[in-house]
């Protein structure tokens, strides 16, 4: 089976994670999908495949004869899809020999090469999109499809290989994918997450990440008698949002530039909250962002009255380059495989995080490999079948190198 064929099947499972739920997995659809994947792994011959109590899928393929002493190698992908766009009832559409022009999907969704520059590079390929009513789910079901296809080919073609460990995780999109990961059960000392985009790119740097909740306490009275008494928390929150650097937001930054991302707000006269994501690749910049937020809160309290504003900052994950700089052979191996595939091969920083961000700090170094998908987390998500095959060949190339 081709990886694209698997993807068309996998995206029909509704697996959006839900940050409002404390359970693991955070949605029932993820557990259903986990059980399905487990049965597929068992049918491939990975008889130890299992789903643990948290919805994580683990399986391993014993080393082939002569490779028993080679270093085991792992591959990881996540089962959940982003809650940022509808993910239920995905109806994938296939566009053979895409002409490189504007695509009109349902619900008014338009894939425009002028807004999605990499779309023009898909000319002549078999493009896969959603119907436009939902996201597609290539993030990260494409990664799962490519890992499953790689395993099938290793087995059916009797390819030499060390022990191969695979894991499919829940709730990566809400930052919990590595929280209950069982390193001992996984059984490999190094691994790759398969959760990136463009073929030929390996990623070993991520953001340092934190979340911040800024809370405003107001005083609510009748507006007719408000002079000198009312303290409008919602209005103060709006003023505060303007104090942060307006050129340091996601839509105005790129590469290794960090940002403050206001992603949720709500408020009344009596109480208001602003929820931010803080991101920076450098440790120094990360600290400075947190310090700036705290400084602005102190200044706001000096102006509006002590206790008016408070902030709670929680670190989420750290730049995995801190760990991977000591395991650059994993990156170099990927670059060599890309070269053998005729790809230019390059490294890029992730403007986000992966399960590998946390797993690397837990003792499992995990660079990130591409899936071929683009425009993740929205209705404009797309992937080419040919790029999925390229990414699958990358995995096979890494297995071949590990068996030498």
Q: Tell me the three-class secondary structure of 80-113, residue by residue.
A: CECCCCCCCCCCCEEECCCCCCCEECHHHCEECC
Are 365 and 301 a contacting pair, CB within 8 Å? no
pLDDT of residue 352: 85
As given in the structure block, the two tokens for residue 175 are 């930052």
Q: What ranges in 278-382 are assigned the alpha helix state H?
A: 283-304, 321-324, 328-340, 355-361
Residue with tokens 């408020």: 267
Measured CA to CA, the distance from residue 105 to residue 115 in angstroms comes to 15
pLDDT of residue 353: 83
SS3 content of the chain, % helix, strand, coil (to 5): 35, 25, 40
pLDDT of residue 288: 98
pLDDT at 177 over 90: yes
Residue 214 forms beta bridges with which residues? 274, 311
| Residues ≥6 apart with Cβ < 8 Å to 6 | 144, 145, 148, 149
Measured CA to CA, the distance from residue 366 to residue 188 in angstroms comes to 11
Q: What is the pTM of this model?
A: 0.91
User: What residues are annotated to the active site?
Assistant: 80, 172
pLDDT of residue 158: 97
SS3 at position 293: helix
Are 302 and 210 a contacting pair, CB within 8 Å? no
- Distance separating the N- and C-terminal Cα atoms of the chain: 27
Are 203 and 338 a contacting pair, CB within 8 Å? no
Total Cβ atoms within 10 A of residue 265: 15
pLDDT of residue 107: 84
pLDDT at 302 over 90: yes
Under DSSP, the state recorded for 252 is G
Measured CA to CA, the distance from residue 145 to residue 6 in angstroms comes to 5
**Planar angle of CA 128, 130, 135, nearest 5 degrees:** 120
Q: What percent of the chain has pLDDT over 90?
A: 97
As given in the structure block, the two tokens for residue 361 are 């700090």
pLDDT bucket at 251, cuts 50 / 70 / 90: very high
Question: Of 354 and 181, which is predicted with more confidence?
Answer: 181
Query: Each residue of 307-365: pLDDT tens digit?
Result: 999 999 999 899 999 999 999 999 999 999 999 999 999 999 999 888 999 999 999 99
Comparing CA positions, the residue from 33, 28, 38, 32 lying closest to residue 10 is: 33
Are 150 and 164 a contacting pair, CB within 8 Å? no
Query: Each residue of 129-172: pLDDT tens digit?
Result: 999 999 999 999 999 999 999 999 999 999 999 999 999 999 99
pLDDT at 295 over 90: yes
């Amino acid at each position: 089976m081709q990886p694209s064929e698997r993807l068309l099947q996998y995206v029909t499972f509704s697996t959006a994670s839900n940050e409002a739920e404390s359970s693991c997995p955070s949605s029932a659809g993820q557990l259903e999908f986990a059980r399905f994947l487990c049965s597929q792994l068992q049918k491939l011959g990975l008889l130890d495949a299992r789903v643990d109590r948290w919805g994580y899928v683990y399986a391993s393929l014993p080393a082939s004869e002569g490779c028993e002493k080679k270093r085991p190698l792992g591959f990881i992908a996540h089962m959940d899809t982003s809650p940022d766009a509808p993910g239920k009832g995905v109806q994938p559409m296939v566009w053979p020999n895409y002409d490189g022009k504007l695509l009109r999907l349902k619900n008014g969704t338009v894939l425009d090469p002028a807004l999605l520059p990499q779309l023009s590079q898909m000319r002549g390929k078999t493009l896969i999109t959603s119907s436009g009513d939902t996201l597609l789910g290539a993030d990260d079901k494409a990664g799962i499809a490519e890992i499953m296809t790689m395993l099938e080919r290793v087995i059916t073609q009797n390819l030499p290989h060390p022990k191969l460990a695979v894991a499919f995780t829940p709730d990566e999109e809400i930052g919990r994918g590595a929280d209950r990961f069982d390193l001992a059960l996984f059984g490999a000392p190094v691994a790759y997450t398969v959760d990136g985009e463009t073929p030929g790119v390996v990623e070993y740097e991520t953001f340092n990440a934190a979340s911040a909740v800024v809370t405003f306490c107001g005083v609510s009275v009748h507006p007719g008698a408000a002079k000198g008494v009312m303290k409008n928390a919602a209005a103060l929150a709006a003023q505060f949002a303007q104090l942060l650097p307006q050129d340091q937001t996601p839509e105005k930054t790129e590469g290794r530039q960090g940002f403050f991302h206001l992603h949720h707000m709500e408020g009344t006269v009596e109480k208001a909250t602003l929820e931010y994501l803080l991101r920076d690749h450098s440790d120094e910049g990360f600290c400075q962002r947190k310090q700036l937020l705290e400084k602005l809160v102190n200044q706001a309290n000096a102006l509006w009255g002590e206790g008016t504003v408070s902030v709670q900052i929680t670190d989420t994950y750290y730049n995995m380059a801190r760990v991977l700089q000591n395991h650059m052979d994993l990156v170099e191996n990927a670059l060599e495989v890309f070269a053998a595939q005729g790809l230019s091969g390059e490294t890029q920083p992730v403007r986000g995080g992966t399960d590998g961000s946390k797993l690397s700090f837990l003792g499992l170094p995990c660079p990130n490999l591409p899936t071929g998908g683009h425009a993740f987390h929205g209705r404009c998500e797309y992937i080419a079948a040919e790029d999925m095959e390229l990414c699958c060949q990358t995995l096979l190339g890494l297995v071949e190198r590990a068996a030498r």
